[in-house]
């Protein structure tokens, strides 16, 4: 026995480093905090994009301990200084996230206390807090109090949860799959079709609906297509609307689509992952009229609330449908899974053990209130208008006025337009002080701007315009030389 006790004590001594004393904790924390401050203080001058195609080998697990200084050094050189600097206000590509500092502090608390946020019994406080956040989102979108919601890791998983619920509500399985029809548009985010594949609906029929000149679904086309499909003996069951398309910032006519779905008894899902929080902006509220008619919706706090990556929310009106996909019991969970307790987040999504993501959202909302978020979103809409005016002054052609903060532009050079704009974007990327991405619209290569970072200010747009202007002159010279 004594031998066993001695051995246990020796293991304890060897692993004691995992529980540092307060003095060591403070020292390490101050190093990390100093690093974060240096990063944030130099962010305005830092590159937004540094192309790097090599895979670093500096992360190898050698088994030996390293100092925090050594680790932070690797972090800076191999992570923070490579690729897209997603914390930078110069990030105008893809859908910029945010990274407000208060969220990092929320994560810090959630991680130190290590709340088990999937189960009410384990962490009633964490679950109550996340439920309060879901209730707030329900109020924003005029969802009924009986709806359920979940804080997932992002928009893709949030969409997947909603689509699984739609599948289970309409019992799309077996032979029924091949006859079932989903309606969407060419602007629908690709995570939707990916989710349909993941949930076993690869073989159903997809109808890509026509869109108007502003990239919004034409609702009359929806009615016609449903009627044709019913005549063919098919089973229409799901319509996907977007409130903020990724490519063009368009909001589909939600009221019209929602009304058709109610008449036709179809599940109406709205992907508002990018655009949803613009409902906080007074000037954009009207665009969301009819979103309350949807059966499910997705909205990403790591986009429109400027939180760090890793949080997307889903709301679903029919809780039984969500339970059908996600509720499962086990003997070892008998203490925790009790009918008399509030609903567990684990019953509303695929995760059992769940990061306490609510804390990164709740802390900033409580600390600042909602007004600064609304103001920041209004600012993004106005900055998009400002950017478009500046681009037009430089001679660029512009896509149609977007509903939200994503827009696109190109220099019209006839048959050499694609090559010209590709060259221009390459020069912008090589410089890296601002970052834009590209897409294709009706087959044409265009440069795409998405203003959503809370750090994108008028000065960021002015710098981006100066960079574009400089690269434009160089591109023109390059094309003069080769023609
Ligand atoms: C409209 C839309 N839906 C879904 C997604 C996917 O979200 P996530 O990248 O958080 O998984 C995105 C991402 O940009 C999006 O813009």
Q: What is the pLDDT of residues 126-150, one digit of tens each?
A: 999 999 999 999 999 999 999 999 9
- 189 Cβ below 6 A of ligand 1: yes
Most confident of 52-61, 325-334, 421-430: 421-430
Q: What is the pLDDT of residues 53-107, one digit of tens each?
A: 999 999 999 999 999 999 999 999 999 999 999 999 999 999 998 899 999 999 9
How much is the average pLDDT of 116-124? 96
Q: At what angle do helices 358-368 and 124-140 cross, to 10 degrees?
A: 60
Residue 400 to residue 413: CA distance in whole angstroms: 19
- 300 Cβ below 6 A of ligand 1: yes
DSSP state of 80: I
Residue among 84, 154, 349 to mutate when testing ligand 1 (max atoms within 8 A of CB)? 154
Q: How far apart are the first and last CA of the chain?
A: 88
Residue 446 to residue 438: CA distance in whole angstroms: 6
How much is the average pLDDT of 332-361? 95
Residue 187 to residue 440: CA distance in whole angstroms: 11
How much is the average pLDDT of 346-366? 97
Nearest to 217 by CA among 259, 263, 184, 255: 184
The model's confidence at residue 194, banded by pLDDT at 50, 70 and 90, is: very high
Q: Which residues contact 120 (CB under 8 A, 6 or more apart)?
A: 127, 336, 341, 342, 343, 344
The two three-digit tokens of residue 46, written as one number? 């830092």
Residue 100 to residue 86: CA distance in whole angstroms: 12
Whose alpha carbon is nearest atom 9 of ligand 1?
155
Q: What is the pLDDT of residues 140-180, one digit of tens each?
A: 999 999 999 999 999 999 999 999 999 999 999 999 999 99
Q: What is the pLDDT of residues 381-421, one digit of tens each?
A: 999 999 999 999 999 999 999 999 999 999 999 999 999 99
> What pLDDT is stored for residue 236 in this prediction?
98
CA–centroid distance, residue 416 to ligand 1 (Å):
32
Q: At what angle do helices 155-169 and 190-198 cross, to 10 degrees?
A: 50
Q: Which residues contact 369 (CB under 8 A, 6 or more apart)?
A: none
Whose alpha carbon is nearest atom 2 of ligand 1?
273
Q: What is the pLDDT of residues 220-256, one digit of tens each?
A: 999 999 999 999 999 999 999 999 999 999 999 999 9
CA–centroid distance, residue 156 to ligand 1 (Å):
6
Token pair 């304890």 is at which residue?
12
Inter-residue contact 238 to 182 (CB < 8 Å): yes
CA–centroid distance, residue 304 to ligand 1 (Å):
11
Residue 391 to residue 17: CA distance in whole angstroms: 56
- 274 Cβ below 6 A of ligand 1: yes
Whose alpha carbon is nearest atom 8 of ligand 1?
155
Inter-residue contact 92 to 456 (CB < 8 Å): yes
Inter-residue contact 470 to 432 (CB < 8 Å): no
Q: Does the pLDDT at position 344 exceed 90?
A: yes
> What pLDDT is stored for residue 293 in this prediction?
98
> What pLDDT is stored for residue 160 in this prediction?
98
Q: Does the pLDDT at position 203 exceed 90?
A: yes
Q: What is the pLDDT of residues 456-482, one digit of tens each?
A: 999 999 999 999 999 999 999 999 998
> What pLDDT is stored for residue 339 in this prediction?
87
Number of alpha carbons in the 13 Å side-chain half-sphere of residue 397: 13
Residue 426 to residue 442: CA distance in whole angstroms: 21
User: pTM of this prediction?
Assistant: 0.97
For 178-318, where are the alpha helices, taking DSSP H only? 190-198, 219-231, 254-264, 301-304
> What pLDDT is stored for residue 173 in this prediction?
97
Q: What is the pLDDT of residues 254-307, one digit of tens each?
A: 999 999 999 999 999 999 999 999 999 999 999 999 999 999 999 999 999 999
- 254 Cβ below 6 A of ligand 1: no
Q: What average pLDDT does the chain have?
A: 97
Q: What is the pLDDT of residues 5-40, one digit of tens each?
A: 999 999 999 999 999 999 999 999 999 999 999 999
> What pLDDT is stored for residue 267 in this prediction?
98
Residue count of the chain: 483
The model's confidence at residue 109, banded by pLDDT at 50, 70 and 90, is: very high
Residue 430 to residue 340: CA distance in whole angstroms: 60
Inter-residue contact 417 to 411 (CB < 8 Å): yes
Residue 121 to residue 413: CA distance in whole angstroms: 64
Q: Which atom of ligand 1 is nearest to the CA of 154?
A: 10
Q: Which atom of ligand 1 is nearest to the CA of 272?
A: 1
CA–centroid distance, residue 241 to ligand 1 (Å):
14
Token pair 């019991």 is at which residue?
329
- 246 Cβ below 6 A of ligand 1: yes
> What pLDDT is stored for residue 483 in this prediction?
79
- 271 Cβ below 6 A of ligand 1: yes
């Amino acid at each position: 026995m004594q031998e066993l006790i001695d051995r246990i004590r020796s293991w304890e001594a060897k692993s004691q480093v995992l529980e540092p004393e307060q003095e060591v904790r403070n020292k390490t924390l101050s190093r990390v905090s100093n690093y974060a401050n240096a990063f944030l203080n130099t962010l305005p001058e830092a590159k937004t994009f540094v192309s790097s195609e090599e895979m670093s080998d500096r992360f190898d697990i050698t088994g030996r301990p390293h100092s925090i200084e050594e680790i932070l050094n690797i972090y800076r050189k191999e992570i923070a200084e490579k690729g897209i600097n997603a914390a930078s206000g110069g990030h105008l590509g893809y859908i910029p996230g945010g990274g407000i500092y208060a969220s990092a502090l929320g994560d810090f608390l959630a991680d130190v206390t290590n709340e088990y946020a999937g189960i009410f019994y384990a962490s009633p406080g964490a679950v109550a807090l996340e439920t309060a956040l879901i209730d707030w989102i329900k109020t924003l979108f005029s969802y009924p109090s009986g709806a359920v919601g979940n804080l997932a890791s992002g928009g893709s998983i949030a969409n997947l949860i909603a689509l699984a619920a739609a599948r289970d509500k309409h019992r799309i399985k077996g032979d029924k799959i091949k006859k079932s029809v989903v309606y969407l548009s060419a602007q629908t985010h690709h995570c939707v079709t990916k989710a349909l594949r993941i949930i076993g609906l690869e073989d159903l029929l997809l109808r890509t609906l026509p869109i108007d000149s502003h990239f919004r679904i034409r609702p009359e086309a929806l009615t016609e297509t449903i009627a044709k499909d019913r005549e063919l003996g098919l089973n229409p069951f799901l319509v996907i609307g977007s409130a903020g398309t990724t490519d063009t910032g368009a909001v589909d006519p939600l009221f019209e689509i929602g009304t058709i779905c109610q008449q036709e008894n179809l599940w109406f899902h709205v992907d508002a992952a990018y655009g949803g929080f613009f409902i906080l902006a007074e000037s954009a509220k009207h665009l969301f009229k009819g979103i309350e008619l949807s059966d499910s919706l997705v909205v990403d706090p790591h986009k429109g609330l400027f939180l760090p990556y890793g949080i997307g929310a889903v709301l679903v009106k029919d809780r039984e449908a969500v339970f059908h996909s996600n509720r499962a019991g086990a003997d070892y969970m008998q203490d925790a899974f009790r009918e008399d307790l509030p609903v567990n987040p684990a019953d509303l999504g695929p995760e059992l053990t769940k990061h306490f993501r609510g804390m990164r959202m709740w802390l900033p909302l409580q600390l600042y209130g909602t007004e600064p978020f609304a103001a920041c979103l209004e600012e993004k809409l106005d900055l998009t208008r400002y950017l478009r005016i500046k681009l037009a002054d430089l001679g660029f052609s512009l896509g149609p006025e977007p509903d939200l903060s994503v827009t696109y532009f190109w220099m019209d050079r006839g048959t050499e337009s694609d090559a010209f704009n590709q060259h221009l974007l390459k020069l912008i990327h090589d410089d890296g002080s601002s970052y834009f991405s590209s897409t294709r619209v009706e087959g044409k290569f265009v440069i795409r701007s998405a203003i959503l970072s809370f750090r994108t200010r008028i000065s960021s747009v002015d710098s981006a315009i100066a960079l574009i202007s400089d690269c434009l002159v160089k591109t023109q010279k390059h094309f003069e030389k080769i023609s």
